[in-house]
Amino acid sequence: MAAPLRVSAFPAPPPMLAGRARDAVVFAAGVAAAAAVLALLGSASVLAPGSSSLLVAFPVPGPEDGPRTFYDHPELSYEAVGGRRLAGWDAKRAEWLRSRGLSRAPERVVMVSGSQPEPCPGDAGDHLLLRFLKNKLDYCRLHGIELLYNRDVLQPAMKGYWAKIPVVRAAMLAHPEAEWVWWVDSDAVFTDMDFSLPLATRYDGHNFVAYGWPDKIARRSWLGINAGVFLIRNCQWSLDFMDEWARMGPAYPEHARWGEVVRGALSDKGDDAWCDDQSALVYLLLLSNWEGLGKKAYIETEYFFQGYWMDVVGRLDGVAARYEAVERRAPPGLRRRHAEREHLRYAAARNAAVRGAVPGPAGGGEEGWRRPLITHFVGCQPCSGGRNPMYSRESCDDGMRRALGFADDQVLRAYGFRHVAPLNDTVRPLPFDYPAGGLRNGTMGARQ
């Protein structure tokens, strides 16, 4: 059973040294600097030919001019292991937002992902990770999300799967403007570029979101909840939860004991007494009495918040064909060419058109033919090449290429291109009024 949390509050911040007197000095310095610039220019022409404005350099406020915040506490620790636990985070974060003239934005997200610091030992591993990274950059750009991609081990004892916890915790402190931090494993592919997370409508009142399988959860399987993709709110509850999760990891002496605990409490573990990050998460969410978990954690089961790749890749061609069939029948406005920055408007219209016409939930699911939000290549190990022996090299390699190409076609459309076939890296220009135009002039069918 996880030990009760004990958090320590920081001492009150020292008063600001800057007041009206310093403000007056800064203002006076600014006036003096402006006067000096004008005097230096003298009778010389300060307006460039054809210009209608005067460019004058004013002093820019420096690091000493801002109000003091939680960052100024010398005892603030970014570490998930060995550092002092942070208390009062909600108030500290709110004060930081006020001091910067910002308001709380419930849908502001920072995505975090990463890979190992060394080159990949597997064949084409670095190339595949580059494509996975490009896929995340595409999704983030289209949805106005910031991406933090880390390749450093922030705490040596927390390696491998456990390395995500120090990175996510540090990201929460480094991004107080973000309401959510979204961890996405390096081997996960966004396969629906139109889908936006239902943060306000679905996850309001919750602080942690992960994907699970009801049948496996019912039998307490360590595979019942996937730890490779999760969403966590930037709040005190989440920091405390991350601390509890970290304490089950290899950086703490009780790690070996937790291995025995999870093996006895969770099914399907066999003789493996090692406590991995996913087993620890499943134990915390299903079996611990940690405060607030039942109300604050949301186990997503209705759409592919992350979909198992073996359930997805064989269906992608059929998914694409159904979406194109809907667009051919839709009013021409849905097929209009447009700038990429208008993507979300057209995504909303496309989702409305396929709703009812293509079975399945938005974001995809085990039933139906909607695009899956994320296709997760668990077990394929694209970087190391040490895939699970239950998968063939061909199934992993072709599956990753198929999913990445499926996603790329959605992005390339705004640039007027698409791939000629699912496993072909050659692209062709799209005809006008595609996909309807492709059938009229014969240059490109629905799938080639």
Cα distance between residue 282 and residue 122, in whole Å: 30
What residues are paired with 307 via a beta bridge? 375
Determine the Cα–Cα distance for residues 286 and 213; give it in Å rounded to an integer: 13
Q: Cα(122)–Cα(381) distance, rounded to whole angstroms?
A: 9
State which residues of the chain have pLDDT below 50.
1-56, 439-448
- Note the pLDDT of residue 177: 96
- Given a contact cutoff of 8 angstroms between Cβ atoms, the answer to whether 296 and 206 are in contact is yes
The helix (run of H) or strand (run of E) holding residue 419 is: strand 417-419
Q: Do the Cβ atoms of 383 and 129 come closer than 8 Å?
A: yes
What gap in Å lies between CA 84 and CA 302, rounded to an integer?
A: 38
Tokens of 151: 């390749």
User: Please, what are the domains in the chain?
Assistant: 87-300 (3.90.550), 307-416 (no CATH)
What is the per-residue pLDDT for 1? 40
Which pLDDT value is given to residue 72?
A: 87
pLDDT at 63: 67
Residue with tokens 């801002």: 66
The residues that bridge with 229 in the sheet, in sequence order, are: 184
- Enter the pTM of the model: 0.83
**Cis ω for the linkage preceding 361 (within 30 of 0):** no
pLDDT of residue 370: 98
Tokens of 299: 């186990």
| Of 399, 444, 440, the residue nearest 422 (C-alpha) | 399
pLDDT of residue 74: 84
The label of the residue with tokens 């001019």 reads: 65
Per-residue pLDDT, 61: 55
Which position has the token pair 């139906």?
A: 368
Distance CA 54, CA 59 (A): 16
SS3 282: helix
3-state secondary structure 369-385: CCCCCEEECCCCCCCCC
Residue 355, pLDDT score: 95
Predicted pLDDT of residue 334: 94
Rounded-to-integer distance, Cα 430 and Cα 444, Å: 8
HSE, side-chain direction, 13 A CA sphere, residue 406: 28
- Name which of 155, 117, 152, 151 is nearest 252 in CA terms: 155
- The per-residue pLDDT for 172 is 96
Q: Say what the pLDDT of residue 434 is.
A: 94
Phi, psi of 209 (to 5 degrees): -130, 130
Describe the crossing of helices 393-412 and 125-143 by its angle, rounded to 10 degrees: 30
How far are the Cα atoms of 228, 245, 372, 374, 411 from residue 305, in angstroms, in the given order?
Answer: 11, 21, 8, 6, 20
pLDDT in tens, 313-326: 999 999 999 999 99
Distance CA 316, CA 329 (A): 20
